[in-house]
Each structure stands twice: as structure tokens, then as C-alpha cells.
Structure 1
Amino acid sequence: MTHSTSVARPARAAAQRSSAGHLQAWLPRLVLAPSVAVSLFFVYGFMLWTFILSLTNSRMLPSYDLVGFAQYARLMANDRWWVASTNLVVFGALFVGICLVVGALLAILLDQRIRQEGALRTLYLYPMALSFIVTGVVWKWLLNPGLGIQAMVRSWGFESFTFDWLVNPDMAVYTLVIAAVWQASGFVMALFLAGLRGIDDSIIKAAQLDGASLPRIYWRVVLPCLRPVVFSAVMILSHIAIKSFDLVVALTGGGPGYASDLPATFMYAHAFTRAQIGLGSASAMLMLGGVLAILIPYLYSELRSRQHG
């Protein structure tokens, strides 16, 4: 009896350890399961629902009578969609390009270990703490011909000065660029500054010993080392440009007319204010395609670098 009890105790202890190990292995999955389920439903589930709606003739309310790709054909024949798409190309190219240049220059400036670096870094980063709604409202005041920069300069005696981009259909989209660059350049600066601080100083010192000037060192040596930072910044800024909505609504409202429309405002206008859910869903799917066109190469490069790393 005593021998059988002594044999059973280690067996029970081993079984308890095994069950505890299984519980410990499954516990993280059980904790994450609700979040994963909610994400699958509210993100990917609604993506699928939007795609289904884009294949229907839905107007004010969803309708599930499939019409194939008729909504996409209507979208391609819509002049306002092409204006919004052209504006996105202009806005996105200028926004990404100027942010990269300004962010890199500010980061190089701060990398010189200047005085009050912390205060300047905070000052440059401050716009990123604001929402695009606040940014749009502030710049709407500044660019208003009767209240802002134009009125101020004319009050100084320069009566012929004109800066009416906000009400000029040909220039309104550039006001979006000004406001967006002001807000996002500090974020790009932070990315570049982190990358610069991660470069070994011995590389720069060796280039200086070879007689290279500081601008040449940054252009030929430092910036090529920051290619991953540049790539990440381009991905993030492009994503911001594609989904820009609140800045447009607060600053120009898509106007004058629809001269400064972007795809996000086009989608909102047709899906929610013009009762054309099918057409709005089709435009939303094309926007998703644009995001995926940017995201997939980024993920591919990350996976490839890890495999070769």
C-alpha cells in the first residue's frame, strides 16, 4: 500500500505540472482571443462588407442585389473622382517630398549638438500633438484673405500683395500641402534624428580625416545609411496622404467647389451625403488598394531583410 502511494504521488505531480504547462501555454492565447475576434470582425469583416456593397446598387440603405463592377465603372466615369485622384497625386507627392527634405534638414541641424536642443526638438514636434482638425482651423484663419496673412501684409502698406490660395480653385490644394507639412515635418525629423544618433561616429570622423566636408559627409555617407528610415517615413506619410479627410474638411471643405477634393472626402460625400453607398464603397475599396500598394512592398522588404539578416 505504501509502495503504490509513493509511486502515485510523482505521477500526480507530473500530471499537475503538465496541466499547468498547458494552461500557461494557452493563457496568452485566451487573453488575446477577444481582441483578435473583435479586430477580425470590426476591421476585416467590415472591409469584406464594404467590398460586397461596392458590387451592389446600394443607395441610401444597403441593398444586396449584385450588379458586378458597375459601381467601379461609374466611378471611373465620374469627373469629380478624377479631380480627387489628381489632387491626391499632387498633394501626396509634395507632402511626402517636402516633409522628407524639411525633416532631414531639421534632424541634421539638431545633430550638431547645438544649445537648447531639447527645447527646439519639442518645438518642432509640437504640431504633431495637434489633431488635423485643429491644424486645419488654424491655417484656415491664417490663409483667409480677409483675416490672415494677406490682410496683415496689406495693413503694413503693401496694398498689391495677394495670397488668396484658399479661395483660388487652382491653388487650393496647395494650402493642404502647407498645413500638412507644418504638422508632419517634426515627426519625420524625429525619425531621422533617431537614425542619425544610431550611426557610429567613427564613420564620420574617418570621412573628416579623408578631407570630406560636412555637407558631403551627410550626402555621401550618412544619408545612404538612413535608407530604412527614409523608406519607413515614405510609407507612413503616404498612408497619411491617402486617408486625409479631417484636414480637408477643416481647411477647405473640398472647395472652392470640389477643387481640393481628395478621395476620402469624395467617398464621404457620396456614401453619406448623396445616398450613394455603392459608389462610396467602390471609392473606399480603391483607397484600400492604394494603401495595400504601399504596405505590401514595405512588409516584403521587412521580411526579406529579416531573412537575410
Structure 2
Amino acid sequence: MIEQLRDTYRKRTGNTDDLRTDGGTATERTSSRFDMGPDFLRSLPFWLPPFLVMGFFVYGAIAWNFLVSLTDYNSFVPPTYSHLDFEMYTRAFSDPTFLAATKNTFVLLVVFTVFCLLVGLGLAILIDQKIRFENTFRTIYLLPMSLSFVVTAQFWLWMYNYSDGPINVIIRGIGIQNPPHWISDPSIVLGSVVLALVWQFSGYAMVVYLAGLRAIPNDHFEAARVDGASTYRLYRRVVIPQLKGATISASVVLMVFGLKAFDFLYSLTGSYYPPKGSDILATMMVRQAFGSPNNTAYAAAIGIMLFLLALVVIAPYLTYQYKRGEL
């Protein structure tokens, strides 16, 4: 009966929209065509200028940087755009310095992110126990993230000082007379950098995990306790599996911060020639661009590979968000 009424309505009005059957008299638009009407034209002055500015200075700069990477530009000889090739990319994958910097970059990203997540999860679980002065502890743990890389580097430069740094003073106090050279020793310098970055950003992971813990219904905790689950099994089987979204979100942000660690290394060492064992792609890129001799095309190629690495980090997260309908 309803279908007959719809057919009759369409024939009489020539309207192909579906007739509402919920008691209303209006029709529902099912077309998804882009509306280029007056509202769209009136909105142009608000979004078109920033869109063009961002497109020129961000995506235009990335495109020009890629074009430069295909030349032999070295800041002294003007680039020749008539002959473009991938020589700089081939050079990179045959350069031991580039391979070492790539390895250090991946180690930094993975170790830094994993330890931040573990420390942040532990802090979040402790604070979630309804302890006294919860807000105070949460502020204290989050406070290092508000500091810039420069401030953090200067703080840890003092902490790592071989002669009178607090860490080595404590080590000598327990009877070890030859403490490590935290910054100049190639075997531990990358670990020293990771430790400082974990100190700065584990508070961020704590806040993300704490929000995830507070979003879990109390019924889940009560049901697990009724079933006789211990605290360890409660968090392992019930709580942590429900923090998947928080883990993915925090991991992406932390890895992006890891890719931006140039400021920290530069401030810690005082130059873009970091100690052996701590060179990453960001420091190598700046060294190739502004060092002596400089090679702007090679630096541009390294920058493009850093950009692709950032896309590799962000793309899975965007895909995950899209599948969940949050984009």
C-alpha cells in the first residue's frame, strides 16, 4: 500500500524524492550532490583565503622541495630543472651516514614511544585509584610536557654533566668512581636522549590513558571482581584491551614528537653535529643544508623521506579513525 502511494505521488508531482512515512509532509533529500548555491558562495571569503595560503606555503613548499631534491642544487650552483633524476635518493641509500641516521631514527621512535606508553599507563593506573591530591600529581606529571625542547635539553645537559651533574654525583656516592659519559659515549648517548624525552612526554601518555580508564563503565570492573579476577587479571583481560584507541592515539602523537627531536639534540650538543651514535635524519638534513660543504638537494631528499616517514606514522591512524566513522 505504501509503495503504491509513493508511485502515485511521484507520477503526479514528478518528484523522485522518497515520501516520508512517519507522519510528516515534507520529503527527504537523498541526493549527495555538492551544493554550489548562495550559501556556498557566501562562505567563500571565510575558508578560501586560509585554504589558498596553507596550500601555497605548506603543500606548495613540499612540492618545490621534492623538485629541488631531483636537481643538483648546492646553494652555490643554481639548480637546473631541465635534467631531473633520483640521484640524491640513490646516494642516500648508499651513504653509511644516512643508513646509520635512519637506524637511529627508528630506534628512537620505537623505544621512546614504547617506554612513554608503559610509564604513562603505569602512572594512569596509579592515579585512577582515587588517591589523595590526584589533581596535584596529575599536574606534576604533565608539567614537563609544557616545556620546550630547548629548556628540557638544558636541564638534562646539567643532569648528565660528567663532573658535577646530579646523576654522576649519586653514582660516585655509591662507590663507582668512573661514571658513564652520558652524552659523549656512543654506546649510551641515544639511550640518554630517549630517557630525557620519556621524562618529558610520559605525562601526555598518562593523561590519554587516564581518560580511557575513566571511560570504561564500572560494570566491567564489578563483573570481573564477581568472577573472582585478581587485580592483575582484571587489568590484563578487561581494562588494557579496552585502551586500544587511547594507545593508538598516544602512539601517533608521541612518534610525531620523536620525529621533531632535532631541537632537543641541537640544544643538548650545541650543534647539528651530534655525538656519534645519536645522529638522526633531522640533524643530518640540517647539516647537509647548512653545513660546510652544503648540499641543498641532498638535504631536500632527506626532508622528503622524513615527510614520507611521517605519513607512514599518521596514515594508519587516519585509516583507523575513518573506519570508526570519526573522520
Q: Which amino acid aligns with 2:179?
A: T
Question: 1:294: which partner in 2?
Answer: 313
Question: 1:267: which partner in 2?
Answer: 285
- CA–CA separation in structure 2 for the residues paired with 1:138 and 1:27: 52
Partner SS, residue 73 of structure 2: coil
Moved more, 171-180 or 151-160: 151-160
Moved more, 74-83 or 101-110: 74-83
CA contact (8 A) 2:142 2:203 kept: yes
1:233 aligns with 2:266: no
Q: Which amino acid aligns with 1:59?
A: N
1:294 deviates by: 1.5
TM-score by length of 2: 0.83
Moved more, 247-256 or 87-96: 247-256
Where does the alignment leave 5 or more consecutive residues of structure 1 unmatched?
1-20
- CA–CA separation in structure 2 for the residues paired with 1:273 and 1:256: 13
CA contact (8 A) 1:53 1:63 kept: yes
Quick one: structure 1 residues 187 and 157, their matched pair in 2 at CA, closer, same or farther if it must change by over 3 Å?
closer
Counterpart mapping for 1:159-198 below 5 A:
159-198=176-215
1:59 aligns with 2:74: yes
CA contact (8 A) 1:133 1:246 kept: yes
Q: What do the CA deviations read for 1:131-165 (whole angstroms, capped 9, x no partner)?
A: 01110111011011112135422663625251322
Question: 1:17: which partner in 2?
Answer: none
Quick one: structure 1 residues 149 and 225, their matched pair in 2 at CA, closer, same or farther if it must change by over 3 Å?
same
Quick one: structure 1 residues 59 and 125, their matched pair in 2 at CA, closer, same or farther if it must change by over 3 Å?
same
Moved more, 254-263 or 288-297: 254-263
Moved more, 29-38 or 173-182: 29-38
CA contact (8 A) 2:73 2:295 kept: yes
- CA–CA separation in structure 2 for the residues paired with 1:302 and 1:32: 24
Quick one: structure 1 residues 33 and 106, their matched pair in 2 at CA, closer, same or farther if it must change by over 3 Å?
same
Question: 2:27: which partner in 1?
Answer: none
CA contact (8 A) 2:160 2:168 kept: no
Moved more, 289-298 or 122-131: 289-298
| Candidates 139, 144, 158, aligned match of 1:122 | 139
| Candidates 125, 134, 143, aligned match of 2:151 | 134
- CA–CA separation in structure 2 for the residues paired with 1:58 and 1:255: 22
Question: 1:303: which partner in 2?
Answer: 322
Moved more, 166-175 or 119-128: 166-175
Q: Which protein has the bigger helix share?
A: 1
Moved more, 276-285 or 31-40: 31-40
Moved more, 96-105 or 65-74: 65-74
Question: 2:53: which partner in 1?
Answer: 38
- CA–CA separation in structure 1 for the residues paired with 2:185 and 2:104: 14
Question: 2:91: which partner in 1?
Answer: 74
1:230 deviates by: 0.6
Partner SS, residue 146 of structure 1: coil
1:251 aligns with 2:268: yes
Residue-pair matches, total: 288
Q: Which amino acid aligns with 2:164?
A: L
TM-score by length of 1: 0.87
1:22 deviates by: 5.5
1:255 deviates by: 5.6
- CA–CA separation in structure 1 for the residues paired with 2:186 and 2:50: 45
- CA–CA separation in structure 2 for the residues paired with 1:40 and 1:264: 24
Q: Which amino acid aligns with 1:263?
A: L
Partner SS, residue 183 of structure 2: helix
| Candidates 28, 39, 43, aligned match of 1:28 | 43
1:169 deviates by: 1.3
1:25 deviates by: 4.2
Partner SS, residue 133 of structure 1: helix
1:49 aligns with 2:64: yes
Partner SS, residue 324 of structure 2: helix
Higher relative contact order (CA 8 A, sep 6+): 1
Partner SS, residue 166 of structure 1: coil
CA contact (8 A) 2:272 2:287 kept: no
- CA–CA separation in structure 2 for the residues paired with 1:278 and 1:161: 44
CA contact (8 A) 1:80 1:258 kept: no
- CA–CA separation in structure 1 for the residues paired with 2:132 and 2:251: 30
1:297 deviates by: 1.5
Quick one: structure 1 residues 257 and 116, their matched pair in 2 at CA, closer, same or farther if it must change by over 3 Å?
closer
Question: 1:202: which partner in 2?
Answer: 219
- CA–CA separation in structure 2 for the residues paired with 1:147 and 1:212: 49
| Candidates 96, 115, 118, aligned match of 2:113 | 96
